Chains A and B, each alone.
Chain A
Amino acid sequence: MSVEKLVEGILSGKRRELARLISLIEDEDAIASEVLSRLYKNTGHAKIIGVTGPPGSGKSTLVTRITTEYRKREQSVGIICVDPSSPFSGGALLGDRIRMQEHSLDDEVFVRSMGTRGHLGGLSRATSDAVRAVDAFGKDVILVETVGAGQSEVEVIEIAHTVIVTDVPGSGDDIQAIKAGIMEIADIFVVNKSDLPGADKKVTEINAMLDTDQKMGTWRPPVILTNGRTGEGITELVDMIEEHFAYLASSGQLEARGLRRSREELEQLMEYKLTRELLSTLRGRPEYENAIREIALRREDPYTVAERLITEFLVKCRE
């Protein structure tokens, strides 16, 4: 498939081309970067919403409900669901779509499941590129679902304008988990499964935790109670997402974020490319393999060797 055809297809709204580009991104195919670089100027229009939280807390259900609400507001929606790949086989079982059946025939909704795989550039690279592709495709709203547990998921969330952290009533221990990990990234807290006992208590707990937060800026994350089964609280949630977006815009944070994101992305890309470039010239060469052996035998040390190799590389580049 040619770069040209992909670019054109995506810009003219062909979902098959979009789907293919995402596969190329996942497969770390060189064509993907070419296409993305061509599409870049057409991106930046979508509102990107991250949804993260423990497995089973109702993320997929909420994403479906939020989609319904946005469709009512005549916005088109892209959905990207990220699930962990098996560390043993590298395969994955991706089941989030199951919950999204009511949108399965809506032309204005695009749903894509991704496994985390063992990506070289980290999960965030592939996911944020996929989000970018959907953005170029013209979706107004992009929802990204990730399981909130590890660091990589937190990274993914950085591409979102608004991050929703989900939780459910019961089990007080996970408050600690939230505190430790994803607490800082939440723009909105959702306590889902309001039909279960202890929902109000959970809201109180999170609010209490927020009250003691010293680092909080001018946006105090609201805590919203929802019922994924019935849809209660969803309108309020989407209103709140919109409010948060308006806040970002009016406070100048949207612009600041854009700059920060661009800087980060550029630097990450350079770092990644540079490393790859460097390693690809070194790997397999006898001197290089020899140096590794010497380090292992304690006849050389890695600090000096690294310094030397990088200097040599840079000198060669200048020539």
Chain B
Amino acid sequence: MSSKKIRVLVAKPGLDGHDRGAKVVARALRDAGMEVIYTGLRQTPEMIVRAAIDEAVDVIGLSILSGAHNAIFPRVMELLNAEGVDDILVVAGGIIPEDDVPMLKEVGIAEVFGPGTPLQEIVDFIQSNVKK
């Protein structure tokens, strides 16, 4: 019996306190059998990367609604790279205009889930793209 589990860090960078989406997704991932580590609000990129490393997560889910994604997401990726981390799948959600998505994908965000994405779609994406 293997008890291998997908571990996911659900993080809310930036200053907005709207965590409904993050928490709903966290529950859905748990109900899909994953271990979800929730960090709470107001996380800096440094804190997120440190938590991801200590917790040896397979996935980081970033949720942001404040519009600061273009400043924050690339910074998270930069810090991960600096730590030599290349085996963590990074996905994002929240209010992110379509125009910004190509740039975010370019820096390494694997997928951006807009408002109204079915939970199952997020679960499926993680299960089939996790890097292990």
Residues on A facing B (Cβ under 8 Å):
15-16, 19-20, 22-23, 26-28, 85-86, 88-95, 97-98, 101, 104-105, 110-113, 115, 117-120
Contacts and interface: CB of A to CB of B under 8 A. Distances in A.
Nearest to A96: B37
Contacts of B51: 97, 104, 111
A97 B37 contact: yes
A93 B26 contact: yes
Contact of B29 (A88, A91, A110): A91
Contacts of B33: 89-91
Nearest to A23: B56
* 3 nearest CB pairs, A to B: A91-B30, A98-B40, A19-B56
A27 B36 contact: no
Interface residues of B, number: 30
5 contacts: A86-B31, A111-B51, A115-B35, A117-B5, A119-B3
- With most chain A CB atoms within 10 A of its CB, the pick from B35, B46, B50 is B35
A207 B29 CA distance: 44
B85 to A, nearest CB: 8
B56 A97 contact: no
Contacts of A117: 3, 5
B121 interface: no
A112 B56 CA distance: 9
B47 A104 contact: yes
A26 B55 contact: no
B5 A94 contact: no
B34 interface: yes
Given A89-B30, A91-B30, A105 B36 contact: no
